[in-house]
Each structure stands twice: as C-alpha cells, then as structure tokens.
Amino acid sequence: MKTGTGTQLHGLLQQVEQRQGELIELVERLIRFPTPSPPARNTEDAQAFIAAFLAEQGFDIDKWDIYPGDPNVVGVLRGSAPEEYKSLIINGHVDVAEVSPDEAWETSPFSPIVRDGVITGRGAADMKAGLAGALFAVKLLHEAGIQLPGDLTVQSVIGEEVGEAGTLECCKRGYTADFAVVVDTSDLHIQGQGGVITGWITLKSKQTFHDATRKSMIHAGGKLFGANTIEKMMKVIQGLQDLERHWAVLKSYPGCAPGTNTINPAVIEGGRHAAFIADECRLWITVHFYPNETHEQVAKEIEEHISFVAAGDVWLRENPPIFTWGGSSMIEDRGEIFPALEVDPLHPAIQTLMGAHASIHNEPAIVDVSPTVTDGGWFGDAGIPAAIYGPGDLNNAHAVNEQVSIRQVVDFTKVLLQFIYEWGHTRKQPD
C-alpha cells in the first residue's frame, strides 16, 4: 500500500472512533423503524430513509416493491475504472424478527436503549447494527471525497426473516459483483453457512370413511382397504428419523458440529373431525444441510428414502406420499429456501477481509461456518463469491432485550471501511 493511500485510510479509521456517537445514533435511528416480520409489509419508511441516505452519498438508487409496503433498495456507486478494478456488494436485511405482545422487554422493542456499552432494541444484533455500520462507512468515504476505482453496491433488502428472499430478487434483477459481504450476525467471524429447505409431505386417502368403519379396517375379516392418514404419517416420521440418523453417521463438514444436518418434523395437520377417519394428513418439515450440498439434492434423498418406506406398507404403496418443497415466503405460501454458502479462505477477497480484521483487532480473523442461515447463500447460488461478516451474536438475535456491543459495532465499521477501500482498489486479474 502506498504511503499516501495508507495515511488516507488511517485518517478514515480514526474518524470512526472519533465519531462513534454518530454511528450509534444511526443504529438507534434504524431500530426505531418498526419492521418486524411477521407481520411484514412495514419497511417502506425505513427503506425510504436508507434510499435517501445513500443518495446523499452519491449512489444511484433503485427502489422497487417486492410486496406492497416492502420494497428493496439498491444503491450503486460507479467506480472511476470499473473495467480494471474489483466490484463489491454489501448486503443486509432491514426486516427484524417478530415481537410477541407478552415478551418482557425493558421498554418498547423499537425504543432503543444505549447503556453500559450496549445498544438494546429489536434488530440491534440481527441486523440493523450491521446495516448502520455499512452506511456509516460509505458516508465517511463520501465526505473524504474518495472515489473508488471499482463499483460499490449497497443492498438493503426485505424478507430475510420469513424466507421472502429480497436478496434473490436483487440477483434476478441483474445485480452482480466480484464479491459480496452479507453484514448479518456473525460475531465478527467470516462465515459460510449450511442451507435450509422446508417441505410438506402429504398423505391423502382416495376415499372418505365414517368413524364407525374403523373396526372393518383394522380387525381380521373386515375386508375394508383403508387407513387413517395420521397413523400412516407415523411411519413417514419414523422413516425421516432413520434417514436423519443415517446422515449424522455418514455426512460431515469441516467447521460444522456433528449432526448439524437435521430433519425436523415441525408441524402436523390432519383429519376433518371426530366422526371421520382422517383422510388427509400433512407434515411440515425443516431440513438443514451442509455447505457443500444443495436443496435439490437433499430433497431428492428424502423422497427416495420415504418412497422405500411407502413400498413396505400395503396402503402407502397405493397412496404414496406427495412432496411439496420450498416456497417464496413463510407468510404467503408457508415455505422457504436458504441455499448453502461455501467460503474459500484463499479467495482474494477473503484474504483482504481477513487482513482488514487482523489489522483492526490485532488478532487473526476466524473463518468458520454459521450455525444458522442468512441471505448469503443466494449469492453463492448466483455464482457470486460471498461471505457473512457482521456484528452481533446469535444469543441475542431474536431474543427479548436484544442487544449488541457498541465496541463491536465500532470495530466492525472500521474493518468494513478498510475492506471496502482496499477491495475497491484491487485490480482485476487479466483473463
């Protein structure tokens, strides 16, 4: 790094420390926008604020509705030499976890408290502190009159909490870059993630039977070929448990705890009322899989295994399970997909981010795998190298009296500022 460049960056990093009061006020401002999801459809005001903020920093703004009242905002800052220098996407979601009326918050979840070195409020850790840090970093760059050679894109998206994938909509709209950072909750670890897909398994009888016919279905000589779908779903659940244990023994991934790949029977629905034999039963499952797997792959494994279970049952052979996978919203169609994301520690952007972290913290960065999921997988799915890196920890995400460390927010903003600066000054390799 040239001396002049190093001096310029050092001055910016000092400003983060000196002006941390402004940074914390920005976190508070974002928390005050009540954007819980569900119910969702409530991010318009927050997104208008973010769009205006980015416009003040010289970004071209693209704002469009994903759902009524829930727009995406993308700001693009054109570089001075984008053909020669690396481009970057910074991504975060503006929706926050739902709040139940009976939760014991010290004050309103959307009235932030700054005290004892932490900021408390819904979204503090997940993930308005990350968004605020990103916005503050680009503000400092703008105020210093710094024009990056590479393009910089900032995405404030909706729907992450309920699988509505505002990030996917950005990818569909054509936004791309040489690298993306998702500034979601990671406790300042550089992370990839496993994936999640939900699915419905449905058993449906071809006929409907009165409750009084049960004796003819289950006792010798009854000669009535029928079944209670709730009882038959017990065999499906047992088959899922067997497959889950099989996966736990035979599958693993570095950085993931053993048995991280799970099949959770989350919701069961079935039957009409007590005068009927249950002629339909639906099981909603949540499947976690490893970073090197795809949701199509694990869905196929489950279908194949349950088909063998069904083949061993005389009624299920004639009435095989019906599978419905994924969905675009836990609110609209009761389904979601979060693709997995693998992180290559040797990728130049990861090396640059690791270097920025080490420079600010005076200790090596931790590169590992998130135990949860974020929108980061959509970048990997779109062929854009990416990583998760943000303030806050999962013990606070979605928690009552959710909070984030002020020190961590300040340090995160420094690291991100240095990374934006250095990556935006990184030359592209010739083809």
Residues recognised as catalytic: 95, 160
Q: How many helical (H) and strand (E) elements, i.e. helices and strands, does the chain have?
A: 12, 18
H helix runs in 251-366, sequence order: 295-311, 314-318, 348-361
Q: Is 407 helix (H, G, I), strand (E, B) or coil?
A: helix
Tokens 């303030």: give the residue. Answer: 391
**Cα 337 from Cα 53, distance rounded (Å):** 31
Contact 103, 120 (CB under 8 A): no
Residue 168 three-state SS: helix
**What is the Cα–Cα distance from 222 to 225, expressed in whole angstroms?**
9
258-290 burial string, b = 16+ CB within 10 Å, else e? Answer: eebbbbebeeeebeeeeeebbbbbbbbbebbbb
Give the span between the Cα atoms of 184 and 63, in whole angstroms. Answer: 21
Q: 3-state SS string over 265-298?
A: EEEEEECCCCCECCCEEEEEEEEEECCCCCHHHH
Distance CA 30, CA 122 (A): 10
Cis geometry, peptide bond prior to residue 39 (ω within 30 degrees of 0): yes
Angle between the N-to-C axes of helices 406-424 and 20-32, in degrees from 0 to 180, rounded to the nearest 10: 100
Tokens at 103, concatenated: 């939760």
With beta carbons less than 8 A apart as the criterion, state whether 229 and 248 touch. Answer: no
Which residue bears the tokens 């779908």? 229
The amino acid occupying position 5 is T
For 46, the token pair is 């927050």
3-state secondary structure of 123: coil
Q: Which two tokens stand for residue 101?
A: 């009326």
The two tokens of residue 149 are 């050679």
Token duo for residue 356 = 């920025």
- Matching residue, tokens 């009524």: 68
The DSSP bridge partners found for residue 190 are: 367
Strand 118-120 relative to strand 403-405, pairing: antiparallel
